[in-house]
Structure 1
Amino acid sequence: MRKRLALTTLAVATAVTAGVAAPASAARPDPVRQGLETLVDSDHAPGALASVLDGKGRFRTYTAGVGDRDTHAKMPRNGQVRIGSVTKSFTAAVVLQLVGEGKISLNKPVDTYLPGLVRGKGIDGKRITVRQLLQHTSGLPDFEDDVTSGILERRYLSPRDALDIALKHKAVFKPGKKWSYSNTNYLLAGLIVERATGRPLAEQIDKRVIQKLGLRHTYFPAPGETAIRERHPQGYRPEPKGAPARDVTGIDPSAAWAAGAMVSTNSDLNRFFSALLKDDGNPLLKKAQRKQLRTTVAMKKGNSRYAMGLGIMRVKQSDTCVFWGHSGGIPGFGTWSGATDDGRAASVTMTLEPKTGEAVEHLEKTVAAGLCRR
């Protein structure tokens, strides 16, 4: 969640553009496979898996390492994984659909939909717009550090309880003045969806995105659901002082909710991002909302390589390759997914929660390897 995007911004300052423009050949190893091997060998993930969707609608799947560190079970191809903050792109897509239906306005304050709910030290829901939530320019404090232990201990936390925790902290800055990643933004976006529709967020994501795109292996966990439903690798969390990584496959992601609770596969994520960015015949968003989706603000002053739209990030990998996507980290897994304007998509997951900027950078570079070569 927040730390993983914070690490992405750390990578903004340190990343070196990967040279992945050329296609794989007999003389040159496949750079996507090389990227997975880096995640296993250098970042110490027990395993990694990826899927690449080319411009002709063909999928390539990859695996590296093992699916279970203790039994050495084989890594399942295209197995289900927890996608962490990639969930935000699904939540934003639903908000934008409701904008297109006239049920939500991006420029109206949060108080329009959740009157009196958002109040705190320097925090006023009358001064924060829906757009600022989706773009992380609200100045709202984050709550991730306060709930991680509960996630690991499988304690259910309702969205309202998580919001109460977040609002105990003071505002980071005045709304609209800066950019700072906060899961609290998407907690509120999810609550606004529920207020606008009168239905649960999970149901709306399922109906409006998952079913519409036929994402057969993607779901929003039910309250109290701690296991991953289908074939999946085990997920791990680094332990301090060089101790073996801890198996945290079974967690309660309820605290992450609209900001990071979902489960999917790399190929389903490719289908989602490819559809989300499509211009002609987009199954998710109308033209006006697609334009809003791509309206960006700088994430780091003086760095034009990264910019944040509404629930989706633009990455300028080179002068000839720009892609859109989102990263996600949650105990057990780290994921980066993205797509280009012409429908190509790539998604990569490591089965170790990324704790360093280098790990997030390696995830992003592996996605770029699938998207930027020809």
Structure 2
Amino acid sequence: MRDISRRTGLTAAAAALFTGAAATSSPASASPAAAASGPAGRTRSRRTLQRGVDAILATGVSGVLAEVQDAHGRTTARAGVADLDAAAKEPVPWDAYYRIGSDTKTFTATVVLQLVGEGRLKLTDTVERWLPGAIRGHGNDGRRITVTNLLRQTSGLNDYINGDSGEFTPDGYRRNRFRSQSPKEQLAAALDRPPEWLPDADDPAGERHWGYSNTNYIVAGMLVEAVTGHPWAQEVHERIIEPLGLRGTFTPGTSSYVPRPTATGYTYFPEQTRPTETTLGYGGGADGALISTTHDHGVFLRALLGGRLLRPAQLAAMKTTVPVRDWIPADGVRYGMGIAWRPVAGRADGIWFHGGTSLGCVSEGGVTPDGATAVTAAAFTLRLDDAETHERQARVTLRMVDEALRPGAG
């Protein structure tokens, strides 16, 4: 599942630490990824990051890993354990793989905008132009949805994930953790209901009514295949992963496994007092499939905002935003194309970010507008046991990102 934490009104909060999940604070200099900046700056950055990681752990997660990187190097921090049930309480591996969930959307939007920059696709093209008849029925109409609407989440399409709430239980997870869906099946599930709205008939690309839907990026992935003749995964690999040397980033296809090294993922399902191990699970497609590392994710964000992946016109289009509602708990969020912006105290230009949620893992990050500095993090527990707990986890995680990117953080 993608982005449960921000779109449902549940965000993060927590109670006490789990038994046996005591913090294992490791400065960046003790890790293989030690920062290379000056001593004073490195120490200041390390302290700030470790404080943030420890605060996330204290919300009741099992383990956390985070990294800040810039032109001078990288600083990493971790806390908690890799597996609550293991006899030896090993820390989260420094190079742990994890599902980045809806942070995948930024990769997908980048590929689509590269195709726009190459003149192979237009932002004003309708879905009907490339996928005739794909969006029809129950009032849904692909002739009223453009590429812009998909990437900016202004299409009005329902989210294919919003299914039977009775399945959102430990037993439901176990029944479905090896079940994959094709993009056509996911789209069909979304089209079973009337749209939330239809974009303006006179100017669909100019629609500003916003509503988060994973379906938008499932369709975006289908468009990539229609335009290029290649699978979405191939285009992401050849256009982003390979050129940037992201050796820890890949599309797992229909596999439900995360490779080692990793940490065990846990989910507190609604009204459950104990966590369920949820490491296994199908991650979706162009909306949320990618597996990565904190380092690779940061490299990607810095390259993107630094202008290495998109031409100026397409990067400007990506950063053209609409107001967002219900992005809890952040205020002032605006959504662009596969990336969002929010204000940060002490930064007049704010930061760019997205975030991703899967069962058992919360991916969060942020990057300065010039791509100079990025922070990325993975928390290996998703707290959905109650709204307060969930919101606290999200709020504390966003605070860590903001503080790590605030000038002069210390």
Task: Tell me the TM-score normalized by structure 2.
Answer: 0.81
What does 1:33-48 align with in structure 2 at a 5 Å threshold? 33-42=50-59, 44-48=60-64
Give, in angstroms, the shift of residue 8 of structure 1.
8.1
Instruction: Give matches, 1:57-96, under 5 Å.
Output: 57-71=72-86, 72-96=89-113
1:199 to 225, 230, 254: 230
1:349 and 1:363 in contact (8 A); partners too: no
Instruction: Kindly indicate whether the alpha-carbon contact (under 8 Å) linking 2:332 and 2:343 is maintained by their aligned counterparts in 1.
Output: yes
Q: Unmatched 5+ residue regions in structure 2?
A: 13-39, 200-206, 385-389
CA gap 1:111/1:327 in 2 versus in 1, 3 angstroms: same
Q: Percent of aligned positions with the same letter in both sequences?
A: 33
Match of 2:353 among 311, 319, 325: 325
More deviation in 74-83 or 23-32? 23-32
Name the SS of the counterpart of 2:197 in structure 1: coil
Equivalent residue for 2:137, pick from 108, 117, 120? 120
Equivalent residue number for residue 353 of structure 1: 382
Letter paired with 1:213: L
Q: Which amino acid aligns with 2:5?
A: R
Report the counterpart of residue 16 of structure 1 in structure 2: none
Partner of 1:367: 401
* Contact 1:329–1:354 under 8 Å retained in 2: no
Aligned partner of 2:231: which letter? Answer: P
**CA distance, structure 1, for counterparts of residue 76 and residue 69 of structure 2:** 9
CA-atom RMSD in angstroms:
2.4
In structure 1, how many angstroms separate the alpha carbons of the residues matched to 2:345 and 2:178? 42
8 Å contact kept, 1:61–1:78 = no
State the SS of the aligned residue for 1:305: coil
Checking the alignment, whether the CA contact within 8 Å between 1:236 and 1:249 is kept in structure 2 is: yes
Given that 1:2 and 1:144 are in contact with CA atoms closer than 8 Å, whether structure 2 keeps it comes out as no
Structure 1 residue aligned with 2:332: 305
Alignment equivalent of 2:240, drawn from 190, 195, 209: 209
Candidates 189, 210, 213, aligned match of 1:182: 213
* Alpha-carbon distance, 1:341 to partner: 2.5
Q: Which of 165, 169, 179 matches 1:155?
A: 179
Aligned to 1:104: 121
If you compute each CA radius of gyration, which structure gives the higher value, 1 or 2? 2
Alignment match, 2:66: 50
Shift of 1:4: 2.8
Give the letter aligned to residue 307 of structure 1.
R
2:61, 2:359 → 1: CA distance?
A: 13
Taking the aligned partners of 1:40 and 1:326, their CA distance within structure 2 comes to 21
Partner of 1:248: 278
1:334–1:354 CA contact under 8 A, matched in 2: no
| Alpha-carbon distance in structure 2 between the residues aligned to 1:73 and 1:350 | 15
5+ residue gaps, structure 1: 12-22
Q: Secondary structure at the match of 2:354?
A: strand
CA distance in 1, matches of 2:144, 2:355: 28
Is 1:263 aligned with 2:298? no
| SS of 2:355 mapped into structure 1 | strand
Distance 1:83 1:28, change over 3 A: closer
Q: Is the 8 A contact 1:2 1:181 kept in 2?
A: no
After superposition, give the CA deviation of every residue in 1:101-143 in whole Å (9 maximum; x if it has no partner): 1111111111111111001323100001110110011111112
Secondary structure of the structure 2 residue equivalent to 1:52? strand
Alpha-carbon spacing, 1:29–1:81, altered in 2? closer, same or farther (3 Å): closer
